[in-house]
Copies of this chain bind each other. A is one copy, B any other.
Amino acid sequence: MPYVNIQVTRENVSAPQKAELIAGVTELLQRVLGKDPALTHVVIDEIDPDNWGVGGLPALQYRQRGAR
C-alpha cells in the first residue's frame, strides 16, 4: 500500500516527465519491496520557488549563490 509524495519546485515539469516519475517510483517499490502497483499511489506537488527555502533563503536566491 505505498503512498509516495514527491515535492519539487514548479518549473515547467511536463506531463511526460510526471508520468516517468510515477512509473519509476512504482517500479522501484515493486522491485525492492514487492509492492503491488495497483496499491501504489504517487502524488507530485509542484511548489512555487518563493515557497521553498533552503539554507535560510528562498530557492531562487539560494541558487544564485551557487547551488542548483
Contact = CB atoms under 8 A, between A and B. Distances in A.
Contact of A54 (B5, B24, B38, B56): B38
Interface residues of A, number: 53
- Interface of A, helix, strand, loop or mixed by DSSP: mixed
A49 B17 CA distance: 14
A53 B58 contact: no
Nearest to A13: B33
Contacts of A33: 8, 13, 17, 21
Nearest to A22: B53
A18 to B, nearest CB: 5
15 contacts: A1-B9, A1-B41, A4-B4, A4-B7, A13-B33, A17-B32, A18-B53, A22-B57, A36-B68, A37-B54, A38-B55, A41-B41, A42-B53, A43-B53, A45-B51
